[in-house]
């Protein structure tokens, strides 16, 4: 474990992000390690006494180094980097279940995760019960002796709901199931889920961990035994991270705490501003006092996050016009990058759902998800103001607020 300057106190997140997993320095050694591109390693047999053989196995030096950094940030014994966020989720679920098992999952999940648990795993004989994560009573009622995993996502995508972890945790414990949490939106800077009893912390590292929209990766953080099980499954299904991507992810992580501080600040600033803009019917951000989970978010999180969702007057057509009118923010279906990214869940993550199903989980047409980047807030305000004017046709009132 990385320690603080007195050598005893565990280091803080900013220090972990920069130093965790680094080898002890020797004169002449590079401060930044190289990318070890070799797919295979000299290995004549078990008597060589070394595990490092082949980069799909997940213990190439770059894979190990980035995993150590993620474990330090999450405060877990171990971690594993994988080829994508979906590889992290799927490999975890495949490792934990077999035919006849059951999963209880939040109804508010990233679209493909929801498809994975409710359709894909069902094809393999693992059935799933979806529940409303904001109703504390449902978890205990949904688990059965066959339940192997309880799966949550926090804050939820794209509705930014924040809920108590304890009911899901207690339900999982009561039947010996794992509690897994996709913490992509929070990042380990805003919440370290293992501190709240989450057994497997999952990330799409494509997002905040990488932070620059230039890689696809995933991560799981858990105790050693659980990571060993997931690694074994990863070797079979082949979702290991490429060493070059692991290196790039590690570089991104070095600035994660700094970036999150700025994402948190600018998103809150913009959320407050959007709340006064004509043409915006609703603003969703846990930092706003009107958000249904504001108090809990204030208690639970170290930052409200970099995501803001808005619902525009004029529904889907207005949201389409808005996205086309943007000149600075980038209409693209991802989040967590240095650049502000804008998307409509009805076209992207939740395209598989019918309109009524989307509305039932709080995503009406006109819903726009904004991943607030690191640009100057006043430039973002000007861009969003002009795009809202173009989209909702209320020029005077919007212009007056710019």
The tokens for 33 are 């390690």
Please state the closest distance from residue 83 (CB atom) to ligand PLP, in A.
8
Task: Give CA–CA dist 139/130, Å, rounded.
Answer: 10
* Residue 72 Cα distances to 1, 19, 222, 341, angstroms: 7, 10, 11, 28
Closer to ligand PLP by Cβ: residue 111 or 292: 111
Tokens representing residue 205 in the block: 């590292």
One of 218, 239, 286, 306 touching ligand PLP (CB under 6 A): 218
146 tagged catalytic = no
Give how far Cα 159 sits from Cα of 71, 112, 325, 363, 371, Å.
Answer: 28, 16, 23, 7, 13
The candidate with the shortest Cα–Cα distance to 31, out of 44, 47, 18, is 18
Residue pair 86/238 in contact (Cβ under 8 Å)? The answer is no
Tell me how far, at minimum, the Cβ of 73 lies from ligand PLP, in Å: 17
- Applying CB under 6 A, among 17, 20, 86, 154 the residue interacting with ligand PLP is 86
Q: For residue 309, state whether it binds ligand PLP (rule: CB under 6 A).
A: no
Which range binds ligand PLP by CB under 6 A, 82-90, 159-167, 272-280, 337-345?
A: 82-90
110 catalytic residue (yes or no): yes
Contact with ligand PLP (CB under 6 A) among 110, 163, 274, 322: 110
CA angle 299, 304, 305 (to 5 degrees): 145
Region from 37-45, 181-189, 358-366, 369-377 binding ligand PLP, contact rule CB under 6 A: 181-189
Active-site annotation holder among 169, 207, 358, 369: 207
Pick the closer one to ligand PLP by CB: 154 or 271. Answer: 154
Q: Is 87 helix (H, G, I), strand (E, B) or coil?
A: helix
Contact 153, 113 (CB under 8 A): yes
**Position among 97, 184, 213, 231 found at the interface with ligand PLP (CB under 6 A):** 184
What mask of x and - would describe binding to ligand PLP in positions 24 to 63, judged by CB under 6 A? ----------------------------------------
Active site residue 182: yes
* 80, 60 contact by CB (below 8 A): no
Contacts with ligand PLP, residue ranges (CB under 6 A):
84-86, 110, 113, 153, 157, 182, 184-185, 204, 206, 216, 218
């Amino acid at each position: 474990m990385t320690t603080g300057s007195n050598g005893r106190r565990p280091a803080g997140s900013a220090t972990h992000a920069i130093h965790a997993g680094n080898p002890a320095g020797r004169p002449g050694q590079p401060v930044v390690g190289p990318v070890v591109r070799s797919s295979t390693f000299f290995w004549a047999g078990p008597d060589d006494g070394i595990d490092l053989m082949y980069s799909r196995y997940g213990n190439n030096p770059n894979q190990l180094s980035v995993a150590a950094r993620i474990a330090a940030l999450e405060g877990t014994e171990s971690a594993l980097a994988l080829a994508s966020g979906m590889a992290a989720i799927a490999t975890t679920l495949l490792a934990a279940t077999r035919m006849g098992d059951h999963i209880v999952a939040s109804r508010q999940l990233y679209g493909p995760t929801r498809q994975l648990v409710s359709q894909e795993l069902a094809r393999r004989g693992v059935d799933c019960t979806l529940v409303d994560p904001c109703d504390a009573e449902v978890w205990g009622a949904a688990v059965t002796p066959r339940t192997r995993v309880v799966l949550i996502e926090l804050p939820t995508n794209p509705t930014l709901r924040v809920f108590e972890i304890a009911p899901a945790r207690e339900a999982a414990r009561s039947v010996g199931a794992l509690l897994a949490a996709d913490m992509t939106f929070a990042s380990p800077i805003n919440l370290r889920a293992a501190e709240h009893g989450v057994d497997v912390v999952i990330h799409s590292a494509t997002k905040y961990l990488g932070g620059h929209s230039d890689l696809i990766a995933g991560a799981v953080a858990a105790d050693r035994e659980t990571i060993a099980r997931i690694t074994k499954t990863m070797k079979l299904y082949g979702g290991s991270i490429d060493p070059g991507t692991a290196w790039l992810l590690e570089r991104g992580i070095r600035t994660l705490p700094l970036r999150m501080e700025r994402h948190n600040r600018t998103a809150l600033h913009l959320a407050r501003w959007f709340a006064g803009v004509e043409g915006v019917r609703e603003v969703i951000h846990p930092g706003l006092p009107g958000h249904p989970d504001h108090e809990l978010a204030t208690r639970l999180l170290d930052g409200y996050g970099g995501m803001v969702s808005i619902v525009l007057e004029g529904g889907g057509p207005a949201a389409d016009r808005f996205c086309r009118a943007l000149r600075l923010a980038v209409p693209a279906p991802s989040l967590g990058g240095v650049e502000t990214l804008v998307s409509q869940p009805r076209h992207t993550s939740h395209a598989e759902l019918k309109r009524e199903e989307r509305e039932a989980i709080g995503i009406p047409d006109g819903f726009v998800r904004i991943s607030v980047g690191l640009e100057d807030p006043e430039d973002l305000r000007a861009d969003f103001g002009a795009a809202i004017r173009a989209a909702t046709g209320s020029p005077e009132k919007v212009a007056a607020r710019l």
